[in-house]
Amino acid sequence: MKFSVLISIYYKEEVGSFNRAMRSVWDEQTVKPNEVVLVEDGPLTDGLYQAIGEWKERLANTLQVVSLKENVGVGAAKNIGIEVCSCELIAVMDTDDVSLPKRFEKQLAVFENQDVDVCGTWIGEFEFNETQIISYRRTPEQHNEIAAFAKGRSPVNHVTAMYKKSWVLNVGNYAKYRTSEDYNLFVKLIMAGAKIYNLQESLVSVRMGNEQQMRRGGLKNAMFEVDVQVDFYKMGFLSLFEMIRNMSVGFVVRMLPNALMKVVFKMIRKL
């Protein structure tokens, strides 16, 4: 089965992390993608441009680079990238994470053997050494469990997602949020009748340093959390009680000091 890998990158990414992510997508996979679509979300550093140029030389026509004049955010950048992808199946990847060697092989097997439209996996989180996983984010396996889980948290680890392009376009693509655009997408897919499945193993290792933690916290992210929950209520996905519960918990957690927020997220992973 043919598939594309969709990646967006912005100027704060480190060259070493980007190169590691690309090696995990291309050099180390047992099944390689038919194309890689990389969206440059605004101007980048000279080091990133150099690294991207080297990958373009290596991958030739396999790597499609889309350059945006200004930073538009992950959701809007992914929207543009999806339109460029030529394959019906699209695997999402982040530029600071690591896909394990059999990720694509195992996800493709799900699409070949089951009637699904989205396939995710668990993630393992690390701080400095990708071989030393400090926590896992586990997601339910079957669709009914996934739909129920989505009432409180995103039901698919976005960086592990492989989905059908036609379904994503059918529900209006990603919302142009600066955060939780993936959560919004999966809720829209569930409401539209898309079938979701999560492999019950970690196939992507996710970097969880101080910078990543800071992206989650603060008043701005707390207010984004409120907006997302209000949208889910207006869409008819959440009841009034569920909206208020999620807003209260999400707001409080994102306003915690970074060190304490990190502990809380680790505890949530175990629920």
Ranges of H-type helices in 150-218: 165-170, 181-192, 210-216
Tokens of 108: 């493709």
Is the same domain home to 81 and 200?
yes
Q: 51 and 180: one domain?
A: yes
Same domain, 145 and 221: no
Q: Indicate whether 223 and 179 sit together in one domain.
A: no
Give the tens place of pLDDT for each residue, 113-147.
999 999 999 999 998 899 999 989 999 999 999 99
Whether residue 152 is found in the same domain as residue 216: no
**pLDDT tops 80 at residue 32:** yes
Q: Residue 193: left if φ>0, alpha if ψ -120 to 50, beta else—which one?
A: left
Residue 92 maps to which CATH number? 3.90.550.10
How far is Cα 96 from Cα 115, in angstroms, rounded to an integer?
A: 31
CA–CA separation, 20 vs 85, rounded Å?
22
* Residue 233 and residue 132 share a domain: no
- pLDDT one-digit tens code per residue, 233-268: 999 999 999 999 998 887 777 776 666 655 555 555
Burial of 91 (0-12, 13-18, 19+ CB in 10 A): buried
The verdict on pTM exceeding 0.85 is: yes
Helix or strand run (H / E) with residue 57: helix 46-59
Give dist(CA 162, CA 119) in Å, integer.
5
Tell me: do 217 and 196 sit in the same domain: no
Residue where a domain stops, chosen among 185, 208, 231: 208
Please, what is the Cα angle at 79 between 76 and 84, to 5 degrees? 135
Is there a single domain that holds both residue 215 and residue 165? no
Domain boundary among 175, 208, 241: 208
> Does the pLDDT at position 103 exceed 90?
yes
Pick the more confident residue, 90 or 268. 90
Q: Hunting for tokens 């396999």 — which residue is that?
A: 62
Q: How far is CA 130 from the centre of its chain?
A: 18
* Structure confidence at residue 149 (pLDDT): 97
- The tally of domains found in the chain comes to 2
Residues 86 and 215 in one domain: no
Shared domain for 180 and 217, answered yes or no, is no
The tens digit of pLDDT for each residue in 193-225 reads: 999 999 999 999 999 854 444 455 566 777 888
The range of the structural domain enclosing residue 247 comes to 209-271
Predicted confidence at residue 210, as pLDDT, reads 45
Strands 97-99 and 118-126, bridge-based pairing: unpaired
